[in-house]
C-alpha cells in the first residue's frame, strides 16, 4: 500500500463532505492516505481507530460507526462486509492497473440480497444468511484470538515498521526488538503503541525530526515522538 494519496483542494468545497460533522470530516480525510490501491479500507471500527486516528481520544468507536452510516448516506463510501469503498478514489488517484497490489478484500455486500438482485427477499435464502453469519462469527473469533495472543500483537506492531524500515522483517526473530515492543505495550497498550509506530512515517518526512526505524529506538526516544506530535498538532491530544 502506498504511503501517500492525492488530496485535491476541491474537497474543501465538496457539498457531500461539508455535510459531515467535524469529527466525521477528520475520519474521512485522514482515512484517504490509508486506502489501498482500489480505494478500500478495512471496515472494522477497531481497525479504523487503530490505523487512522489512534491518538485522538475525542473520536470514539461510536463516532466511527456514525461516520460510516452518514458517509454512506451521502454517497461518499459504500460499506461491504469486510471493507469500506471510497467512491471518489479513482477520480483523484492515478494508479495504473499493472502497479496495483493484489486486492485483499472480497467486497461482499453487507446485505446478502444486494449480491446480484436475484434474491431480493433474504427470507428466501436462509443458507446464504447462515453462511454470512458463520463468516462474521469466524472473523470475530479470529480477531479475538489475535488480541489474546501476545506474539501476534507484537508481530502486528513489527509489521508497522515497514513504512520506515525496509528490513523490518529482521525484528520478528530479534528478542531485543520484541522485548522493547512488549515493554511499551505493557505500559501504553497495543493501540497506542500502534499509533506511535504509524506516526514515525510522519516524522520520517520531517528532515529535522529524529530518525527512528527500530522498536528499541522508539522506546528510547518515545519522548521525542510525543514532543513532535504535540508540536505538530497543538491541542489535539494529551499523552
Q: What is the pLDDT of residues 53-91, one digit of tens each?
A: 999 999 999 999 999 999 999 999 999 999 999 998 877
Q: What is the pLDDT of residue 204?
A: 87
Exposure b/e, 161-176, CB count within 10 A at least 16 = b: bebbbeebeebeeeee
Q: What are the φ/ψ torsions at residue 224 (nearest 5 degrees)?
A: -70, -35
Please indicate, yes or no, if residue 120 is contained in any of the structural domains: no
Domain assignment present for residue 215? The answer is yes
Q: For the full predicted model, state whether its pTM sits above 0.85.
A: no
For residue 109, the cross-strand partners are 80
In a domain, 126, yes or no: no
pLDDT category of residue 121 using cuts at 50, 70 and 90: very low
Please give the pLDDT value at position 126: 58
Domain that holds residue 212: 148-232
Q: What is the dihedral of CA 110, 116, 118, 121, to 10 degrees?
A: 10
Q: Do 171 and 95 reside in the same domain of the chain?
A: no
How sure is the predictor about 122, in pLDDT bands with cuts at 50, 70 and 90?
Answer: very low
Is 160 inside a domain boundary? yes
Q: Are residues 92 and 162 in the same domain?
A: no
Same domain flag for 155 and 94:
no
- The cell numbers describing 197, all together, are 509506530
CATH code of the domain in which 16 resides: 1.10.10.10
For residues 95 and 124, the model is more confident at 95
Q: Using pLDDT thresholds of 50, 70 and 90, give the confidence band for residue 9.
A: confident
Residue 139 lies in a domain: no
First to last CA, the chain: 29
User: So what's the pLDDT on residue 236?
Assistant: 45
Assign 46 a pLDDT band (cuts: 50, 70, 90). very high
- Lowest-confidence region among 4-18, 148-162, 197-211: 4-18
Rounded distance, CA 218 to CA 221, Å? 5
Q: Do residue 13 and residue 95 come from a single domain?
A: yes
In a domain, 92, yes or no: yes
Q: How high does pLDDT run on average in the chain? A: 82
Query: Of 36, 50, 10, 18, which Cα lies nearest the Cα of 28?
Result: 18
Name 192's bridge partners. Answer: none
Q: Do residues 157 and 223 both lie within one domain?
A: yes
Segment 40-47 shows an average pLDDT of: 93
Q: Cβ–Cβ contacts within 10 Å for residue 154, how many?
A: 22
Q: Which of 69, 99, 129 is the last residue of a domain?
A: 99
How many domains are there within the chain?
Answer: 2
Does some domain include residue 165? yes
Amino acid at each position: 500500500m502506498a504511503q501517500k494519496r492525492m488530496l485535491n483542494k476541491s474537497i474543501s468545497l465538496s457539498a457531500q463532505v461539508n455535510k459531515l460533522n467535524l469529527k466525521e470530516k477528520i475520519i474521512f480525510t485522514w482515512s484517504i492516505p490509508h486506502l489501498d490501491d482500489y480505494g478500500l479500507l478495512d471496515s472494522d471500527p477497531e481497525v479504523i481507530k487503530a490505523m487512522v486516528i489512534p491518538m485522538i481520544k475525542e473520536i470514539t468507536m461510536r463516532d466511527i460507526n456514525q461516520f460510516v452510516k452518514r458517509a454512506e448516506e451521502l454517497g461518499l463510501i459504500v460499506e461491504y462486509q469486510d471493507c469500506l469503498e471510497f467512491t471518489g478514489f479513482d477520480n483523484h488517484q492515478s494508479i495504473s492497473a499493472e502497479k496495483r497490489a493484489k486486492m485483499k478484500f472480497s467486497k461482499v455486500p453487507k446485505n446478502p440480497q444486494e449480491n446480484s438482485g436475484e434474491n431480493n427477499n433474504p427470507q428466501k435464502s436462509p443458507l446464504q444468511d447462515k453462511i454470512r453469519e458463520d463468516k462474521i462469527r469466524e472473523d470475530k473469533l479470529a480477531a479475538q484470538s489475535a488480541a489474546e495472543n501476545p506474539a501476534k500483537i507484537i508481530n502486528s506492531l513489527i509489521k508497522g515498521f515497514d513504512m520506515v524500515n525496509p528490513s523490518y522483517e529482521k525484528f520478528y526473530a530479534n528478542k531485543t526488538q520484541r522485548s522493547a515492543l512488549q515493554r511499551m505495550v505493557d505500559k501504553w497498550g497495543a493501540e497506542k503503541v500502534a499509533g506511535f509506530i504509524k506516526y514515525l512515517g510522519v516524522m520520517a518526512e520531517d528532515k529535522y525530526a529524529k530518525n527512528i526505524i527500530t522498536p528499541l529506538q522508539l522506546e528510547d526516544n518515545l519522548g521525542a515522538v510525543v514532543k513532535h506530535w504535540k508540536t505538530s498538532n497543538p491541542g489535539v491530544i494529551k499523552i
